[in-house]
Structure 1
């Protein structure tokens, strides 16, 4: 390898990604969540998605044994939520508006889209764990809003179309 991890991270930062918050209930039934930008759809039939969690992250421990989780796709106006769920706070849900989905997992109010999932597979991925989920329910609550995106280490906004 002729490059260091930071150079690789910076190179990957040239790919703009959407920002989501993965949420679940911890072993005590309390809401938990983490900001994720390594998220993608995998399959339409069956409906599968995946996201990756850093093995050293506090939230990784919470997601280790969960069987259900939700993906909350953030809108451009929810940068504050992204920042909150990216920090190592004891209670990331303090003051955060959410409701319980059909399976009981927390769904963040104001998200563009929410996907309720059951864990289908877990794979080691270097210094991350890859979690594949089967989508069991979804809602698209704010289709007119623009997504929150992350590009070159910064939050950004998607330009509005003129049509």
Structure 2
């Protein structure tokens, strides 16, 4: 058992030091109430068809909502949105009261002024350990000329666009 704890600690340390993007994944429950949470386990899967994935912990209270919704939006946060990241990572029940959002043409809650939004229909769900991997088929993409938010060494930030010039 001790070896398992050491491995989990080391795993968390390694993964926490691997730079990732930061997203807020959103959907609506059966009553039309918006639901969302901060997610950094997000990746592309396929170009044909366009598929992405993200993972949700089985302990998250909105797990069943995301499993039953049939669709979701991945709001890729901009570098100037650390407050949104924290809001959607908190236990606050009305997270949407603290941001500007709209309902999209696909009936999904979409957060305003993000770097990008990918609206998806659920393509497949895969149980994997203590998480469910949600694979989505991309229906719509919206992108702004902003810097995306990054997470690295327990810090949030962005790389200025001038860095690439």
- Structure 2 length normalisation: TM-score? 0.92
6, 29, 32: which is aligned to 2:32?
29
| 1:130 pairs with 2:119 | no
| CA deviation after TM superposition for structure 1 residue 162, in Å | 5.6
16, 19, 24: which is aligned to 2:22?
19
| 1:111 pairs with 2:114 | yes
CA 1:162–1:48 in 2, change beyond 3 Å: closer, same or farther? closer
List structure 1 segments (4+ residues) > 2 angstroms apart after TM superposition.
1-4
Structure 2 stretches lacking a partner, 5+ long: none
Contact 1:35 1:85 survives alignment (8 Å): yes
46, 51, 54: which is aligned to 1:51?
54
Corresponding residue for residue 10 of structure 2? 7
Contact 1:119 1:131 survives alignment (8 Å): yes
Q: Equivalents in 2 of 1:79, 1:61: separation in Å?
A: 27
| CA deviation after TM superposition for structure 1 residue 112, in Å | 0.9
| CA deviation after TM superposition for structure 1 residue 94, in Å | 0.9
CA 1:9–1:27 in 2, change beyond 3 Å: closer, same or farther? same
Structure 1 stretches lacking a partner, 5+ long: none
Q: Equivalents in 2 of 1:153, 1:61: separation in Å?
A: 28
CA 1:6–1:107 in 2, change beyond 3 Å: closer, same or farther? same
| 1:68 pairs with 2:71 | yes
Q: Equivalents in 2 of 1:13, 1:79: separation in Å?
A: 17
| 1:151 pairs with 2:141 | no
Number of residue pairs matched by the alignment: 161
Q: Equivalents in 2 of 1:69, 1:11: separation in Å?
A: 29
Per-residue CA deviations over 1:8-60 (Å, capped at 9, x if unaligned) read: 11111221000000000011111110100000010011000000011101232
User: For 1:116, what is the secondary structure of its paired residue?
Assistant: strand
Q: Equivalents in 1 of 2:74, 2:97: separation in Å?
A: 19
Contact 1:107 1:114 survives alignment (8 Å): yes
Higher helix share: 2
- Structure 1 length normalisation: TM-score? 0.93
